[in-house]
Amino acid sequence: MPHIAALYGLASPAIDDRMEDLSAAAERLGELELEFRFVDSEQNEEDLTAALADAIALMPNGAKHFRPLPVEQLPNLRLIQTFSAGTDYLDKAMLAKAGIDVANNGGANAVAVAEHAVGLMFAVNRKLAVQIDSVRNGTWDAGVTGARTDFRTLAGKRIGIVGLGRIGSRVAKRLAGWECDLVYTDVIDHDPEYVVATGAARVDLDELLSTSDIVTLHVPLDRTTRRMISDRELGMMKETGILINTCRGPVVDEAALIRALKSKQILGAGLDNTETEPVDQNNPLLQMSNVTLTPHEAHRAIESDYKAAEHAVMNIARVARGEKPDWVVPPV
């Protein structure tokens, strides 16, 4: 009898691609006892419960269309497996009480996000968005404004990495050849060999903020990290400092960031997310030439999709065998 895993969301071409990736990964890994089923999250609760009754795992296709589940009516459900690193939209404490683990993607998109973070560093340092817009607007280089000191290289700069996990460590490794000085801070004590491989030295958060030319954030969003970067932290940064955020928007106090940018307390910011998404068109960040903003798509790469599907299949297979899944996120 096959073990049912439900892909949960709204019908779309993206769902079709995800189902194809999951089936291909299961065949590649030899996990042919798994059966994948699409379940429309917009169904009424009765139909939703019936569709999920025999599922051992559920895979939300992102936070946007996630609806809370009647878990008390789903005795077979043992795992919620995300395709993303973030799980902040899930009530992990409630799910844990119901005996349901929440697991993230196990770093499936870590390379893509790390590359994007480095790209934002380069883009802000060189006002790349301003340069591209100037060409598109027909003004060639005349529209590229700013003081000479607004345009900088990464060579010789100190990069402060907040969170040396799967993504932060890859940021460090990718910057190794850019002649940067790398430091990090983390609440986790990583294995010494793991840290040595990144080339980053550990410092406390305050030292990292006050000495780094670029501060890049790679932490999960939970009650301990929400608005961890606010007026105090931004006030500690260099006037030439740049903030990069490719994790979650609410990790940064956006009002404080806007104040810091307007007052030139810091030089600029590269953001793949905002506190409210999609971003409000009246948000001052959209009008700032010292800000490069992308639409929370740092993860977007075909390699990330393939790895996320493979990791999901491996974890669901573990649950089917009665084993503990990997990459479980604690209910913080």
Q: Considering all CA atoms of the chain, what is the largest pairwise distance in Å, rounded to the nearest integer?
A: 68
- The C-alpha atoms of residue 276 and residue 274 are separated, in whole angstroms, by 5
Residue pair 117/298 in contact by the 8 Å Cβ criterion: yes
217, β-bridge pairs: 162, 245
Strand locations in 122-213, DSSP E? 158-162, 181-185, 201-202
Within 13 Å, how many C-alpha atoms sit on residue 202's CB side?
13
277 classed as catalytic = yes
Structure tokens at 47: 């139909």
Residue type, position 52, single letter: L
299 classed as catalytic = no
Looking up tokens 């974890």 gives 315
How far CA 272 is from CA of 60, 154, 293, in Å, comes to 21, 20, 6
* Catalytic choice (27, 277, 303, 323): 277
Structure tokens at 86: 């973030």
* Catalytic choice (248, 254, 299, 311): 248
In sequence order, which residues have a C-beta less than 8 Å from that of residue 46 and are 6 or more positions away? Answer: none
* Catalytic choice (3, 296, 299, 311): 296
275 classed as catalytic = no
Residue positions counted in the chain: 332
DSSP 86-133: --TTS-HHHHHHTT-EEE--TTTTHHHHHHHHHHHHHHHHTTHHHHHH
How far CA 121 is from CA of 86, 164, 306, in Å, comes to 22, 17, 27
In sequence order, which residues have a C-beta less than 8 Å from that of residue 258 and are 6 or more positions away? Answer: 284, 285
Q: Which residues are catalytic?
A: 248, 277, 296
